[in-house]
Amino acid sequence: MSDPYIPRPEDKFSFGLWTVGNRGRDPFGDVVRDTLPPNDAVALLGEVGAWGVNLHDNDLVPIDATPVDRDRIVKEFGRACERHHIVVPMATVNLFFDPVFRDGAFTANDPRVRSYALQKTMGAMDLGAELGAKTFVLWGGREGAETDAARRADEAVKRLRDAVNYLCEYSIDRQYGYRFALEAKPNEPRGDIYMATTGAYLGFIPTLDHPEMVGVNPEVAHEHMAGLNFLHAVAQAWEAGKLFHIDLNDQYPGRYDQDFRFGSANVKAAFWLVKFLEDVGYSGPRHFDAHAYRTEDYDGVKDFARGCMRTYLILRDRAKRWNADREIQALAAETAAERPTYSTQHRDRLLATTFNRAEIAKKGLAYERLDQLTMEILLGVR
């Protein structure tokens, strides 16, 4: 019998160049793995069965590359992608590594930095478009502060809006057809980051000039850092038609950004997430924004990448079982009810209704049973 947990292209599993290429540097330690050239990263992704690769501009093209070098690098990369049957669904821009961004990019106090950030992003959009990307992610990793003396927080919102509006126009102008996906994070590397949660971006988007072009890119680890329920953020984004991309990984709450293998920290949360994405028919990439432990060599990096996809597929299978389980379905079934629509008649009828609170409150809701059955589905004993 064949292994049911082998990734296939239609699963749309993608990885960032920076994920399998992560060299293990951390605040207290040096790099532990050799540089993985982008083309080798693509080969590695092909080998483990991925479908797509995503990139920041400087994951591929050095920040000071000449136009000639840039074109050669991009061309060779495109060929490597073709050779290994890897697509480039998403591109993004690195607005955080270079010291010029130490006070932010679009929200920096120095207007030259803000201008440079726009310029750099336009270049990254050109690059992504050339490689076929249709989604452009903006993660404002340095858009924040260690002290709120640095700038008024509402001014930061305005600056961010200016930048996104500008970039939307650029995409329209160049006919790139991008959909922007904004990625929130509460803190790290800044003391606080503006737009701390996916919700904050969902509130920001309707204030833009082209809200229809902009959605969100929620990341498991970024909501878990603040101890928030990731599924709830994803569901709100989906319901609003704004789930343009998703970053899968894992993270213990209240800690540094861990970017662990998908499902390895909180597999139950991962289960509800996979179930949701599959149940609603999310058709975008399943992008893993994670990296291997620092204890690993490149064989370990492959184990890591395979593990991300394999766990997703196991959980997808579990979600199907959950949906097919009769006892679960009986417990989960909800009484059909009309949605309340206001009218004076409806109002009067409602105001005249007598509710027997005590009787309603007496009935057990069997959520302990439902959750325990979920655990047993998850653990494979049901």
Q: Which residues are catalytic?
A: 56, 59
Smallest gap, in angstroms, from Cβ of residue 346 to a copy of itself? 8
Burial 149-168 (b: 16+ CB within 10 A, else e): ebbeeeebbebbbebbeebb
Secondary structure of residue 26 in the 3-state scheme: strand
Please enumerate in sequence order all residues whose Cβ is within 8 A of that of 297, keeping only pairs 6 or more positions apart, or say none.
33
* Residue 87 Cβ vs a copy of itself, minimum distance, rounded to whole Å: 25
Buried b / exposed e over 195-219, threshold 16 CB at 10 Å, is: bbbbbbbbebbeebeeeebbbbbbb
- Whether a cis peptide bond, with omega within 30° of 0, leads into 186 is no
Cα–Cα dist 13/10, whole Å: 8
In the bound complex, what is the minimum distance in angstroms from residue 327's beta carbon to a copy of itself?
A: 12
Separation CA 348–CA 342 (nearest Å): 10
Asked whether the beta carbons of 198 and 153 are under 8 A apart, the reply is: no
Q: What is the C-alpha to C-alpha distance for residues 199 and 207, in angstroms, rounded to an integer?
A: 14
Phi/psi-derived region of residue 132, left when phi > 0, alpha when psi is between -120 and 50, beta in every other case: left
Nearer to a copy of itself, 76 or 267 (CB): 267
Q: How far is the CB of 294 from a copy of itself (least distance, A)?
A: 5
Helix, strand, or coil (residue 102) = strand
DSSP code at position 340: P
Which DSSP category does 145 fall into?
A: E
Helix ranges, 6-66 (H): 17-20, 38-48, 57-60
User: What's CA 318's distance to the chain center, in Å?
Assistant: 22
| Widest pairwise Cα distance in the chain | 77
- Report helix, strand or coil for 241: coil
Closer to a copy of itself at the Cβ: 83 or 347? 347
Structure tokens at 256: 């540094």
> Measured on CA atoms in the order 206, 210, 211, 212, is the torsion positive or negative?
positive
